[in-house]
Structure 1
Amino acid sequence: MPLVVMCGYPCSGKTRRAEELKVCFERNTDRKVHILGDGALGVERNTVYADSQKEKNVRASLKAEVERKVNRDDVVIFDSLNYIKGYRYELFCLIKHVQTPHCLVYCLTSDEVSSTWNTCRDAAEQYSQDIFDALVLRFEAPDSRNRWDSPLFSVLKDDTLPYEDISDALFKRKAPPPNQSTQSQPLSSANFLHELDKITQDVLLAIFNSQKTSVAGDLVTVPGATEKIELTSSVNMAELRKLRRQFISYTKMHPTENTGHISNMFVQYLNKSLH
């Protein structure tokens, strides 16, 4: 039923905490508990995280496995870095579609502590220092103000795991309601992919053109959408193109019956991902 998303630096204690949670759930409930993550796929860390395409493929495989395992009865613990904000949002969309609660467990350590723990591992299990440093640099910390990062449980290395609070968040809380961007609809339009590509490209073009005369905080009107994009100081075309690719990948798996909704769906996705 519920999904627990582990998050943290490399070697921050995520797997240990995931195993602790599994024991607690099995002791206190009659639910099956599945731990999914890099280990289950046999991921060779230094090879995968040195190649952006390989890393992207692994993330897609892991998300697909989460989607297969999440149901109304079992507990799924997703033990991976989950360090990208947009990826955590995709997981949030997934649980909205399945209609099950979720929470985030953030293993909060300093990079110095995690680096020390990394060097204490068997050589075959270690991240190279270059890969470790790059992952720490790219890490996007969760923020409880974001719906996809909430409820958020930050756990320091010497903390006792707040099992009761986590349990309440998963079993005593309603699932987030579905919205248009997470409703899986039958694919009825023969030119859906063409429309998806064109509409999302038009939205990026509108944002690009508006940046010539707008400043951070301005609301930008985009073609075909009733909602507006709120510009941020950090927005750049490289990031927007990356978010567009993520949105297209998700929407291909969950197409909308009415292509007229795509603009608003994409605007919602950008606003949530950029703030």
Structure 2
Amino acid sequence: MPLIILTGYPCSGLSYRAQQLASLLDATQQKLLASTSATDDAPQRQPQPRYKIHIVPTHDASHPRSVYDNARSEKEARAVAFARVKRALSRDTIVILDGMNYIKGVRYQLWCEAKAVATTCCVVHVGTPIDKCVAINNARLRRDQQQQQQPESQTQSSPEAQSEVNDSGEDLGLAAPDNEQPYPPELLDNLIYRYEEPSTHNRWDKPLFTVLWSDAAPPVEEIFSAITGIPIETSPPATSLASLPADQRTAAPTDTSTVAGSVATTAAGGSGRFSRAKIKPHQATVQAATTDPTALYGFEKRTTAIINAIRAFTQENPSAEAALAKAKAQSPSTPPAGITIPVPESSTPVFVPSHVALSATTDDLAGVGGVLAWPRLQRLRRQWIGLNRAYVGQNHGHGSGGLSVDQVGDAFVRFLNAELAGENRA
């Protein structure tokens, strides 16, 4: 389910590079699976592709290039493309987003979505010069004008005539046939001016691969290794597009002759399946766990049971001196360090140090000003629940800061012991 984000100027050959990249990635994994099955001791069988290649287009009949004329239609078109990417991301699919993606905030949103589903993401920058983009757009405008002026029967030209030239007569090297729609000249200049180039200084633009206009093919081996985590030997540098004959420059993008001939992998197993890169989801993209609807009730029930047990102890032992004397009688060999009160829902008892119990304004444990007065215990209980309400019944993200209902008793008793001992007092 890796995500490949294409970006570049309008009319820079993004759709061509998307089709070319999909074809080369498919050929690369086919050779990888073939080499893996050839080294297997198991019976030979036809290897199955590990990843499906899916191209998500940004433009279609419902969202033409005129959506960039105003902000509202452009925002709707971006939302549709983002929804398509979100639906296409699956366990065994390489998603290629074909579009300008000229806003860095859009690329950041896509990067967050990839992190949310724990998959890899890379950016492929189609680095076509501005003058070349303008020349391609002008050639497409002339093509549309000729098709409107000529009858339909005369618009059917031979493949040899599909190669467009600019005003100076230079062959643009477009793939035949070029059926892409042009931009209005004013809109083209506006989009080029608004383009935000990707940078390796941004974490959402890494890894970044740049494909120049003169490059015959993108670095498919490096891209495949980056999104899958499988090391592949890099093929020799591809022949420059400018040095190729015109008939080869206008060839269909399904030409896979530039795919590396030698493929090295550390994959094992006879099923032809190999490991994928491990991605840790970003904390900002992790959906919080669902809260147990009965968790808060469990908090209230367990803390109330502890408070009631302390109140029952104070009714049986109203005097602090009497409670300390009782504790000394139970352990005559050692002087009493304090009052120990066993409570339910907790393996740790409530402990009141002797100096705290004797320093109260009254000897009555539950009386006004006593160390175990009922209003004070209720205030401490409400305070503790308020502090832990955000962590009720769930683990906060992927950390261990959550508090389950079974841990309420011990946690509340630790809080009470710290308060009664004076450790949390300012």
Q: TM-score range by the shorter chain?
A: 0.5 to 0.7
SS class of match (2:123): strand
Equivalent residue of 2:12, what SS? coil
- Choose from 190, 213, 219 the match for 1:157: 213
Q: Indicate the structure with greater helix content.
A: 1
Match of 1:37 in 2: 57
97, 102, 114: which one aligns with 1:83:
102
User: Does structure 2 retain, via aligned residues, the 8 Å contact 1:185–1:257?
Assistant: no
Please tell me whether the aligned partners of residues 14 and 98 of structure 2 are also in contact (alpha carbons under 8 angstroms): yes
The alignment status of 1:182 with 2:182, answered yes or no, reads no
Q: Equivalent residue for 2:82? A: 63
State the alpha-carbon separation in 2 of the partners of residues 163 and 69 from structure 1: 21
Q: Could you tell me how far apart the structure 2 residues matched to 1:62 and 1:106 are?
A: 18
Residue 113 (structure 1) aligned with residue 125 (structure 2): no
**Could you tell me which amino acid in structure 2 is paired with residue 171 of structure 1?**
T
Q: Residue by residue, what CA displacement relative to the aligned partner does 1:187-229 show, whole Å, maximum 9, x if unpaired?
A: 87xxxxxxxxxxxxxxxxxxxxxxxxxxxxxxxxxxxxxxxxx
SS in 1 for 2:69: coil
Contact 1:107 1:156 in 2 (8 A): yes
Structure 1 residues 217-228: aligned runs within 5 Å: none
* Contact 2:112–2:282 (8 Å) recurs in 1: no
Please list, as runs of the form range in 1=range in 2, the aligned pairs for 1:40-55 lying within 5 A after superposition.
40=60, 42-46=62-66, 48-55=67-74
**Could you list the per-position Cα deviations for residues 18-41 of structure 1 after superposition, in whole angstroms to 9, with x for gaps in the alignment?**
111111122232121111122346
Corresponding residue for residue 205 of structure 1:
none
Distance 1:152 1:72, change over 3 A: same
Change (3 A) 1:147 1:257: farther
Tell me how far apart the structure 2 counterparts of residues 186 and 84 of structure 1 sit (CA, whole Å): 32
The structure number with the bigger radius of gyration is 2
Query: Which residue number in structure 1 is paired with residue 223 of structure 2?
Result: 166
Shift of 1:115: 0.8
- Identify unmatched segments of 5+ residues in structure 1: 189-255, 262-275
Distance 2:61 2:121 in 1: 23
Q: 1:82 and 1:139 mapped to 2: Cα distance?
A: 9
Letter in 1 for 2:64: E
Query: What is aligned with 1:125?
Result: 181
Q: TM-score, normalised by structure 2?
A: 0.42
8 A contact 2:59–2:65 mirrored in 1 = no
For 1:137 and 1:92, locate their aligned partners in 2 and report how far apart those are by CA, in whole Å: 24
Aligned AA for 1:34? H
Deviation at 1:177, TM superposition (A): 2.2
- Paired position in structure 2 for 1:2: 2
Runs of 4+ with >6 A deviation = none
Q: Which whole-Å CA distance do the structure 1 matches of 2:3 and 2:61 have between them?
A: 19
Between the two proteins, the alignment pairs up a number of residues equal to 191
SS at match of 1:143: coil
Alignment check: 8 A CA contact 1:187 1:257 kept: no
Answer whether contact 1:45 1:127 (CA < 8 A) is retained: yes
- Corresponding letter in the other structure for 2:57: G
Fraction of identical pairs, as percent: 37
State the match for 1:213 in structure 2.
none
Measured at CA, do residues 185 and 138 of structure 1 come closer, stay the same or move farther in structure 2, by a change above 3 Å? same
Q: Write the deviation string for residues 109-146 of structure 1: whole angstroms up to 9, x where unpaired.
A: 22111111112225381100111011111100000121
Amino acid corresponding to residue 177 of structure 1 in structure 2: K
> 2: distance between equivalents of 1:41 and 1:103?
28
Q: Distance in 2 between matches of 1:257 and 1:128?
A: 55
- What SS does the aligned partner of 1:107 have? strand
Rate the CA distance shift 1:144–1:41 in 2: closer, same or farther, 3 A.
Answer: farther
User: In the aligned structure 2, how far is the partner of 1:257 from the partner of 1:28?
Assistant: 48
Question: Is this contact kept in 2: 1:186–1:257, CA < 8 A?
Answer: no
Instruction: Please give the root-mean-square deviation of Cα atoms over the aligned residues, in Å.
Output: 2.3
1:71 CA drift (Å):
1.4
1:231-265: CA deviations, max 9, x gaps?
xxxxxxxxxxxxxxxxxxxxxxxxx999xx9xxxx
Partner residue in 1 for 2:24 = 24
The residue that corresponds to 1:141 in the other structure is 197
Equivalent residue of 1:120, what SS? helix
User: Structure 2 regions of 5+ residues with no counterpart?
Assistant: 30-48, 145-179, 231-276, 292-389, 397-426
- Give the aligned residue type for 2:28: N
Structure 1 residue 157, shift from structure 2 partner: 0.5
State TM-score, norm by structure 1.
0.65
CA distance in structure 1 between the partners assigned to 2:290 and 2:138 by the alignment: 50
Distance 1:127 1:73, change over 3 A: same
Counterpart code for 1:23? S
One-letter amino acid matched to 1:152 = L
Secondary structure at 1:78 match in 2 = strand
